[in-house]
Chains A and B, each alone.
Chain A
Amino acid sequence: MSECSRDMKRILIICAKFAAAALVTLVCFEVYFRTTEISLPSFVIDDPVLGRAFKPNARSALIQEGFYMGRINKYGGLGPAYAPERTEGALRVALVGDSYVEAFQVFPKWNLRSVLEEELSSRTGRRVEVLNFGLSGQNIRTMYAYYKDQVTRFQPDITLFIVVDDSFFGRDKKKGPLCYIDEDGNLKVNYDFAKSDMYQRKMRLRFTRELGSFQMLQAAFARYQLGETPQIVLDKFAPRKSVKKRESPESEATDPNFRLNKAVIEEFGRLNRSGSSRIMFVGHKEVPPYYLPVIAETGLTYIDLRPELDEFQRSVTDPYYWPVTHSRGHWNQEGQRFIGNYLAGRLCELMDQKTTR
């Protein structure tokens, strides 16, 4: 054997040992991340109809403002696995909204869904099933598509759409269904996203979502995409990024989404009148004022949580405050309980009014 090939063999052995050690360490890290739940395989999947959806039976744990630990139910929803078929005699309430409703900041026991279910059961004396259809990043248009394709399957008696200003101004994502108004002026949903190259590429790479270590990489990549690298790497030496406050449209004339949002609200009004499910809007932050007459005209009930939340903040505690991060964000445990109690009271009142009439 020539000296050259001996050297080559030696290098190959070194590389093989290095790769083997690295691979074994990689596997050990993956096991460690999963068992300690530092980084779990993704509990979110790409769905050709819903866009982003939850993976049935997946474990989930998140530590951001607060600490969340849960499991997606077998129907791909949050909370108890209530079957799409109605339970005899039960009152079924659906909560639809964004990350506030999703409540990945508190244990499921303390979220709005649980509190509302417990309170409504005790106030009405009936079996109550509250379903959580919260999904972060939703706006009113994607909520409509979600309602049509997912929520109605579960035949709720009451559907509460929990909205904020972002629900009206938020941009549509390319990865999900898009609402549009056709030539005849009808509201339609376009599902072409599932045919896009980006979606197909994601589907080909979906195996990576099964790795906890890859999820960690993905979280890092998300920060990279937000342009946070200089701040993370150079710390005080990086120029401070000025946070641009998004300018909200002041009237329907300057709101590019107004026509579509109005069509969505009117469609909700029509569905409400058809009697399949009673639909209500719940606003907990500034809802653009020019939408309120639209909601009123369609005959939908609008519950404004703001005065109550302000009073709660003044007299009890800040429902948006998180002590670990010293920041204001989503509803904390106290906020969830307060809103759950309040909504249970309001729903009972509204149901009583309906019975009296």
Chain B
Amino acid sequence: MLFNSFIFLIFLALVLPAYYLLPRRLKNPLLLVSSYVFYGYWDWRFLGLLLASTIVDFVVGWKLHDTQDPRKRKFLLAVSVCFGIGILGFFKYFNFFVDSFNSMISTFGWRLDFLHMNVILPVGISFYTFQTLTYTVDIYRRKLEPTHSFLDFAVYIAFFPQLVAGPIERASHLLPQMQRHVPFSRDNFRMGLVLMSTGMFKKILIGDTAGRIVDQIFAKPRYYSSLELLMGIILFSLQVYHDFSGYSLIARGTAKMFGKDIMVNFRQPFLASNITDVWSRWHISLSTWLRDYLYIPLGGNRKGARRSYVNVMITMALGGLWHGAAWNFVLWGVAHGVYLCVHRWMLKGKEATHRFVFTGLNRWFATYVVKVLGTNVIFLFALLIFRAKSFPDLFHFWDRFFIHWTASDFTGRVITMTLSFIAVTLILDIIEYVTEDQAFLLRLSPPMRYGIITVAWFFCLVYMYQARPMPFVYFQF
């Protein structure tokens, strides 16, 4: 079920009142059933996988808690990790590795085509697998007590607002919320509505509208001029951002209506003044997951500078691979690894600056603007690797940007379109940045707030009605 669909709104309108009307003991069963309905709406066959993953980690969690023997504990952790990574590896990466192996051995004239299988990627597998892993790893590290209730755990894993595209919630944060239920509160509902409205606007009227242009340009880049290709990549960055941050806002808003708090996943990444700052603002739940469950276990920066660079590269390359089973994603991860290493080397042990405070149109502000622009340029450069359909297409983009620049027949319009999308992004982000609040609309008086929300919803619904709904970009990961 897509958030940007009428069927989801109907679903929510049925589940939300039912949740508050039902007695306490039936609230979690309702959340579990509705979450499974939400997930099974795509393909009910993968519900078994979700359930299996939940059972394995629940059992392993208990066994880990009960066992003191370090070897046994390691074995149990290995079972959980192997199961999680195993299903992820099979459904997501099997064909990728087979095809890569085939193209390698084809240089010797051999092929093992029969190994290629028609495997469908279950929606959200990368997200819920990582989420279940946090549970067992945290118990292994003795940072978390296992839950007694399978139902609470199953709801934590399958909670529909964040099931298919995160944020990847830590058990220590979300699980306790599944064990207590707050009564209906107008404040929660109001905040949820505001977050959901902003998210819908971002997803439907910015992300999807930009995405329609992006899809066309990247499908046949040879038919577009350099300027149009540049518009394509800039709009893609805005599409991914609004698509995913919009999703996260809708997830936060929906969860808030149920009285649950979900973590903030994006903090105005395009206002970051360096690449390290970008990663503290972009897909925060994944970047912190990679830091805590991959980079630090690899040794982090505890084993010397050189080793820390290697660790960053491994983390980012695997982070790239997490996004999709293709070499361009790995390369994108490697590019970001290089950026982070270079930035770390430039910092020479100093802390990276994170928050800019406006003190007027002075030299500091000018430096900040230049740094933001530079950061966005290198971010876009890597993003092109991420989005290009194939390596020849990628080289075509580079050729059109750096060697054979071609003019557009619609220069003025292309620039205006691109700047308009950038402007609306900046307006939203600057307000969020200054107020440090994603629900900034709550600061307005109720009539003004609802005046804005009514018009925004009206156009979201009209656009949803007249245009084919676009799935969220991150669903494919």
Are A and B associated in one complex? yes
Q: Which residues of A contact B (CB under 8 A)?
A: 14-15, 17-23, 25-26, 29, 32, 35-38, 59, 61, 63, 66-67, 69, 106-110, 213, 216-217, 219-220, 222-224, 232-237, 323-324, 333
**Contact flag A17-B451 (CB < 8 Å), given A35-B420, A67-B213, A235-B7:** yes
Given A232-B6, A234-B7, A38 contacting B215 (CB threshold 8 A)? no
Please judge, given known A-B contacts A18-B448, A63-B213, A110-B223, whether A235 and B454 are in contact too, CB under 8 Å. no
Report whether A25 and B451 are in contact in the complex, using a CB–CB cutoff of 8 Å: yes
B462 to A, closest residue via Cβ: A220
User: Closest chain A residue to B468 by CB distance?
Assistant: A325
How many CB-defined contacts (below 8 Å) exist between A and B?
A: 106
| Interface-centre pick from A32, A67, A236 (highest chain B CB count, 10 A) | A67
Q: Given the complex of chains A and B, what is the CA–CA distance between A217 and B424 in angstroms?
A: 22
Whether the pair B455, A235 counts as a contact (CB closer than 8 A) is no
Q: Is the CB of B447 within 8 A of A15?
A: yes
Shortest CB distance B181–A (Å): 30
The residue of chain B having its C-beta at the shortest distance from the C-beta of A110 within the complex is: B223
> Is there an interface contact between A66 and B216, defined as CB atoms closer than 8 Å?
yes
**Chain B, Cβ-Cβ closest to A234:** B7
Q: How far is the CB of B447 from chain A (nearest CB, A)?
A: 4
Contacts of B219 in A (CB 8 A): 323-324
Contacts of A35 in B (CB 8 A): 416-417, 419-420
A-B contact pairs, 16 of them (CB 8 A): A14-B447, A18-B447, A25-B456, A36-B209, A36-B417, A36-B420, A37-B413, A38-B209, A59-B413, A107-B223, A107-B224, A219-B466, A223-B465, A234-B6, A236-B7, A237-B7
B2: nearest chain-A partner, CB-CB: A235
CB contacts under 8 Å to A, within B390-434, are 409-410, 413, 416-417, 419-421, 424
B223 touching A324, Cβ below 8 Å: no
The binding surface of chain B is classed by DSSP as helix
Query: For B454, what are the chain A residues with a Cβ–Cβ distance below 8 Å?
Result: 18, 22
B208 to chain A: closest residue by CB = A38
Whether B448 pairs with A324 at a CB distance below 8 angstroms is no
Task: Encode contact with A along B452-471: 1 for CB under 8 Å, 0 otherwise.
Answer: 10111001001111110000
B223 and A235 form a contact (CB under 8 A): no
CB distance from B219 to the nearest CB of A (A): 5
> Across the interface, do A323 and B220 meet the contact criterion of CB distance under 8 Å?
yes
Decide if B217 is an interface residue (CB 8 Å cutoff). yes
Contact B466 A213 (CB under 8 A): no
- CB of B101 within 8 A of chain A? no
**Set of chain B residues within 8 Å of A14, measured between Cβ atoms:** 446-447
Closest Cβ neighbor of A222 among chain B residues = B466
Q: Which residue of B lies closest to A35 (CB)?
A: B420
Is B173 part of the contact surface with A, judged by Cβ < 8 Å? no
CA of A109 to CA of B409, assembled, Å = 8
Complex CA gap A234/B7 in Å reads 6
CB-CB under 8 A from A61, the residues of chain B are 413
For the complex of A and B, list the 5 residue pairs with the smallest distance between their C-beta atoms, beginning with the closest. A21-B451, A67-B216, A17-B447, A35-B420, A220-B466
Q: Which of chain B's residues have a CB closer than 8 A to the CB of A32? A: 205, 420, 424
Provide the bound-state CA to CA distance between A222 and B450, in Å.
Answer: 29
B201, closest chain A residue (CB): A29
Chain B nearest Cβ from A118, distance in angstroms:
14
- Chain A residues near B459: list those with CB within 8 A: 29, 213, 216
Q: Are A236's CB and B465's CB within 8 A?
A: no
Most buried by B among A19, A106, A107, A108: A107
- In whole Å, how far is B308's beta carbon from the nearest beta carbon of chain A? 43
Among A23, A106, A109, A236, the residue within 8 A (CB) of B41 is: A236
Sample of 19 more A-B contacts, CB < 8 Å, known A37-B417, A220-B462, A324-B215: A14-B447, A17-B445, A22-B454, A23-B451, A25-B452, A36-B421, A61-B413, A63-B216, A66-B216, A107-B224, A109-B409, A213-B459, A216-B463, A219-B466, A220-B465, A223-B466, A224-B465, A232-B464, A333-B223
